């Protein structure tokens, strides 16, 4: 019994708060890292604002949760993958979903903004689709809804794939291979918009598998061997001093909310009113959906406009609290003048802390 009590006290010690480590000690980083080599339930609690309904970080399933009206099957995912990679879904027959969401770039495309029909430039950066199955409001401004609701938007967008639904369905229904594959998944009958959207959505829910071999995902699965002390210290900062976990938490590392990070460029080149274009609410001017940070180092350039090309510079902006634009004399009484979110505060992290945080992001 004494042995059991001793073991319990020892394991309990591993779950102590970060205050158990002496910040002035030479082994402070090692002490912090050791706490994050334990199961997630024993990690120090994050420091988040009182009104944040956060969720603990967690390992990902084989695919994102599917709604009851579109249950998951491997056959449906396979059909969706074929559609996702097929330029037949565009008017020109030259642009596929995969043209702007490339597998080796975490299903983003590495450009500031994507090229679409007739080489037109899009308005916003193409986001990674890896965690798209977790979002109820896709696109940077949330107008897309869930994966099923969002699926047809790029196909009919005149700047992206520039097609229309009747012609798309005609093209699919006159393709004998597609008719056979749709029938195998959905049963006999003509190919419909709903079936096409459901197949595309089902495939995109499998994209979480792209994270499976990351050091962070392995850590969450109880295998911390690939994480260095510095990276684990960066994880600790992410959850505490850096304030990242106010918006980036849960399995997908996103709160799926909309925040103004000071980059609306209101009244200037690159102006983008963000969520306001959907809701018409003044408080939504310049607010954009929180992106997942899974595989973040593969998704540069960052932000809705793709203007941030260097992670060290991006972290420097967050360290200073992000921009807080002030209205000009002509804008003082403008009810739409955007306000940077109060979630963002000056962090005062030193160069070693910024390096550790940057090192942690490499593991995601």
pLDDT value of position 333? 94
> Residue 43 pLDDT > 90, yes or no?
yes
- Overall average pLDDT of the 58-84 stretch: 97
- Mean pLDDT of the region 94-99: 96
- Classify the phi-psi angles of 196: left when phi > 0, otherwise alpha if psi is within -120 to 50, otherwise beta: alpha
The per-residue pLDDT of the chain, averaged, comes to 94
pLDDT of residue 202: 98
**Same domain assignment for residues 147 and 267:** no
CA-CA distance, 4 to 312, in Å (whole number)? 47
Whether residue 87 is found in the same domain as residue 146: yes
Residue in the block written with tokens 């071999």: 213
For range 54-69, the mean pLDDT: 97
Segment 229-234 shows an average pLDDT of 98
Could you tell me if residue 336 is inside a domain? yes
Q: Does 110 fall in a domain?
A: yes
Sorting pLDDT into bands at 50, 70 and 90, what band is 115? confident
Look up the domain containing 191 and give its range: 68-209
CA-CA distance, 330 to 212, in Å (whole number)?
A: 52
Where does a domain end: 184, 209, 234? 209
Tokens found for residue 310: 């260097």
Looking at the structure, tell me whether residues 219 and 291 fall in a common domain: yes
Is there a contact between 284 and 140 (Cβ–Cβ < 8 Å)? Answer: no
Q: Which of 11-20, 42-51, 181-190, 247-256 has the lowest mean pLDDT?
A: 11-20
Tokens representing 24 are 């002035």
Q: In the chain, how many domains are there?
A: 2
Higher pLDDT, 331 or 23: 331
Could you tell me if 351 and 226 lie in one domain?
A: yes
Question: Residues annotated as binding site?
Answer: 97, 100-101, 117, 244, 247-248
* φ and ψ at residue 354, rounded to 5 degrees: -65, -40
In contact, 194 and 152? CB cutoff 8 Å: no
- 190 and 232 share a domain? no
| CB-based contacts of 99, cutoff 8 Å, min separation 6 | 87, 109, 114
pLDDT at position 161 = 95
Residue 131 sits in the same domain as residue 205: yes
DSSP state of 40: G
pLDDT in tens, 303-327: 999 999 999 999 999 999 999 999 9
Last residue of a domain, one of 181, 209, 237: 209
pLDDT value of position 181:
98
Q: Which ranges of 142-250 would DSSP assign to H, the alpha helix?
A: 147-150, 153-156, 165-173, 176-186, 193-205, 215-220, 229-239
Measure CA of the first residue to CA of the last residue in the chain; give whole Å: 42
Residues 193 and 223 in one domain: no
Question: What letter does residue 284 receive in the DSSP assignment?
Answer: G
Phi/psi-derived region of residue 243, left when phi > 0, alpha when psi is between -120 and 50, beta in every other case: left
Q: Are residues 108 and 202 in the same domain?
A: yes
| CA 55 to mean position of chain CA atoms | 15
Q: Is residue 2 part of a domain?
A: no
Q: What would the pLDDT profile of 338-361 be if each residue is shown by its tens digit?
A: 999 999 999 999 999 999 999 999
- Tokens at residue 299, please? 């998704």
User: Could you give the C-alpha distances from 20 to 31, 32, 44, 307, in angstroms and in order?
Assistant: 9, 9, 10, 41
Nearest to 64 by CA among 55, 74, 72: 72
Same domain, 246 and 291: yes
Report pLDDT for 22. Answer: 85
Domain boundary among 209, 227, 261: 209
Question: What pLDDT score was predicted for residue 6?
Answer: 32
Q: CATH no. for residue 228? A: 1.10.760.10
Strands 258-260 and 287-289, bridge-based pairing: antiparallel
Integer Rg of the chain from CA: 23
Q: Which residues are CB-neighbours of 87 under 8 A, at least 6 positions away?
A: 93, 94, 95, 96, 99
pLDDT value of position 4: 37
pLDDT of res. 19:
75
Q: Given pLDDT bands bounded at 50, 70 and 90, which one contains residue 5?
A: very low
pLDDT over 70, % of the chain: 95
Mean pLDDT for 29-49 is 96
Residues annotated within the binding site for heme c are: 97, 100-101, 117, 244, 247-248
Structure confidence by residue, pLDDT tens digits, 152-165 = 999 999 999 999 99
- In angstroms, rounded to a whole number, what is the distance separating the alpha carbons of residues 26 and 294? 31
């Amino acid at each position: 019994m004494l042995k059991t009590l001793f073991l319990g006290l020892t394991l309990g010690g591993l779950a102590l708060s970060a205050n158990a480590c002496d910040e002035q000690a030479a082994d402070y980083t090692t002490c912090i890292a050791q706490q994050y080599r334990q199961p997630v339930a024993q990690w120090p609690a994050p420091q988040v604002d009182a009104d944040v309904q956060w969720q603990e970080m967690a390992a990902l399933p084989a695919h994102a949760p599917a709604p009851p009206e579109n249950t998951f099957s491997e056959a449906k995912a396979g059909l969706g993958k074929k559609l996702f990679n097929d330029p037949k879904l565009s008017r020109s027959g030259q642009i596929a979903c995969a043209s702007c969401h490339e597998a080796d770039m975490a299903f983003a495309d590495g450009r500031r903004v994507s090229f679409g029909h007739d080489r037109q430039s899009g308005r916003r950066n193409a986001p990674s689709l890896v965690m798209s199955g977790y979002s109820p409001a896709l696109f940077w401004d949330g107008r897309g809804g869930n994966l099923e609701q969002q699926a047809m938007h790029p196909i009919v967008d005149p700047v992206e794939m520039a097609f229309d639904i009747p012609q798309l369905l005609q093209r699919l229904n006159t393709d004998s291979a597609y008719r056979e594959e749709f029938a195998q998944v959905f049963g006999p009958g003509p190919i419909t918009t709903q079936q096409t959207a459901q197949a595309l959505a089902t495939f995109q829910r499998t994209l979480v598998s792209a994270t499976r071999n990351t050091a962070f995902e392995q850590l969450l699965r109880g295998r911390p061997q690939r994480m260095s002390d510095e990276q684990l210290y960066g994880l600790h900062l992410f959850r505490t001093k850096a304030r990242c976990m106010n918006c980036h938490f849960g399995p997908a590392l996103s709160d799926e909310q909309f925040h103004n990070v000071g980059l609306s460029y209101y009244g200037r080149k690159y102006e983008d009113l963000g969520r306001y274009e959907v809701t018409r609410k003044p408080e939504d001017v310049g607010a954009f959906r929180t992106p997942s940070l899974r595989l973040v180092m593969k998704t540069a350039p960052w932000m809705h406009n793709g203007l941030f090309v260097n992670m060290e510079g991006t972290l420097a902006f967050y360290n200073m609290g992000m921009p807080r634009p002030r209205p000009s004399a002509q804008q003082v009484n403008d009810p739409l003048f955007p306000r940077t979110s109060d979630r963002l505060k000056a962090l005062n992290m030193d160069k070693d802390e910024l390096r550790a945080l940057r090192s942690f992001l490499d593991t995601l």
